[in-house]
Every structure is written in structure tokens, then in C-alpha cells.
Amino acid sequence: MKRIKYEVIKPLIYSKELMDSYSTNSVAGGSLIGKTVLITGATGGIGISLTKRFIAEKCNVLLIGRDNKKLDDLKNELEKSGTGSIIKVLELDLTDLNCGNILTQFIENESLMIDVLINNAGVFTEIDRKRRFRVVTEEQFNTVFDANYIGTKITSKAVADYMVRNKISGTIINISSICAIQRKFQYTPYGISKSAVIKLTEDMRDEYPFLNIKCIAPGSVATRMGDLGEGSNISKKLGVLNRVALPEEIATLAAFLSSDIGREISNGALLASACEVL
């Protein structure tokens, strides 16, 4: 008779103190000071952490999202903390095929100099969570694919062309997902769209060889998308950490890859996960 093995994992609460502990010291050696960073999906879990990390690196930020109130609330919260950074916001639907022109026009009207683009916007639906690909409707598939891939492609192209025109040796980082690599998610709209993001990154490296273009594929992260948030127990039997990743850790990696040192890393999608790829 097999014995049942019990294993106790101590709770680790995702607290403000834990967030702040990952948002202090610079990871860019000062090389990002004064640069302007454009972040899409800025009001989500990873988006907010990206914003705070780049502000900690003394960057200015342009925050993009689909909800103007959330953008304004985030901007007001950051400005009250006395960051000293210039913070601009733009409400923009990245599934709009004209979003690239709208974004470029805004950048030029505001006389901005975009040094870094983080393509973080994306959606993950119940269809993806349940991995029920055979019942996905065309509309459901397009909703996810357009948000995760088409929007990323249009934004990347618009900003890359802008950087080339303005002779900026800038950085573009696309956020993919472990779901693009794990077999059990590769047939979901989310997994397919995030696989396309990895391929887009590879193609853009060939098209824009003088830009720093990279891709991060996070695993389980403590965000609303992962049904976790501040106050949640993030302990989980995952790899050596026995917990899910923090959005602050993903943001720290993005900042490092945007730095002078991080530019030297030139391999494919960087898997940021304690999960085993199956």
C-alpha cells in the first residue's frame, strides 16, 4: 500500500514590504537615468511594477492603457510620492489597427524621445485557463490574438521606425509567456499569440540590427491574471523557490536588459520562471 506523502509549504504573503524590497537599488548601473520608457498595459500587475522600477532607475515614463481613469489614478499616485520623473499617460486601444499612427503622432506632439519600449499589454481568458481550444470561437480567438500579438506588432513597428528615424539606439522588450513554450498551453489562443510574439522578436532583430530587441517569457506571476495579488499567499511547489515569481522580479529583469550591460545578452526568449517546461 502506497503511503500518502504530506508536504507543508509555509505561507509567503505578497505584501507591500515584499514589493518594495524588489524596487530599491538600481540594476542598470545608472545607464538609464533620464531616459524615457514607454510601457503598454501599464495599469496591470506587471505594468505597475515596470513603471515603478523604471522610475526607480530615474527614468521618465509614457504609460499606455485602455482605461483613462486607471491611468490617471496611477499617475496621481506616482506623482504624490515625489518621484521627480516626468509621467505622461495615453489611453489607447492596441487592437485598433491605427494605433501605431496615433501613438507616433502623440510622441511627436509631446516632443518625446522614446529610448525604451516595453510591450507588456495582453489578455488571458477563461478559455485559455481551461485549455479548451476546440470550443474556441473565431471571435474569442481574435480577441486574444489581436490584443497579445497584433497590438504588440503594430506598436513595435511604429516605435522601431521612430527610433531609426531619430537615430536612437533604443531598446524594445516584448513580454511573451511560458505558455508559448509549454505544450499544455500551445494550442490555446493565449499560447499561440505569445508564440507569435517570440517569432516577432526574432524577425525584428533581423530587420533592426542596431536596436536592442529582446523577449521575456514569464511563468506564473503574482498578478490578477494569475488570480493572485497583494495579500495573497504566493507559496507554491515550483522549482527551487517554492513560490511564484513577483511582478517586481520581471520588471527588474526588463530594466537590466534595457541597460548598457543587459544589451550584451542576445539569446532568444528569456524564460523567467521557476516552472519546469513540459
* Domain carrying residue 231: 16-272
CATH number of the domain at 39, please: 3.40.50.720
Q: What pLDDT shows up at residue 225? A: 66
Is beta strand 212-218 parallel, antiparallel or unpaired with respect to 270-272?
A: parallel
- Measured in whole angstroms, how far is the alpha carbon of residue 253 from the centre of its chain? 10
**Residue 28 domain-assigned (yes or no):** yes
If one counts the domains in the chain, the total is 1
**Residue 11 domain-assigned (yes or no):** no
Low-confidence ranges of the chain (pLDDT < 70): 1-9, 21-24, 131-132, 184-186, 222-229, 231-242, 266-268, 273-278
Q: What pLDDT shows up at residue 231? A: 65
**Residue 96 domain-assigned (yes or no):** yes
Q: What pLDDT shows up at residue 211? A: 95
**Residue 205 domain-assigned (yes or no):** yes
pTM score: 0.88
**Backbone phi, then psi, for 257, in 5-degree steps?**
-65, -25
Q: What pLDDT shows up at residue 81? A: 83
Q: What pLDDT shows up at residue 268? A: 66
**Residue 5 domain-assigned (yes or no):** no
**Residue 179 domain-assigned (yes or no):** yes
**Residue 7 domain-assigned (yes or no):** no
Q: What pLDDT shows up at residue 239? A: 62
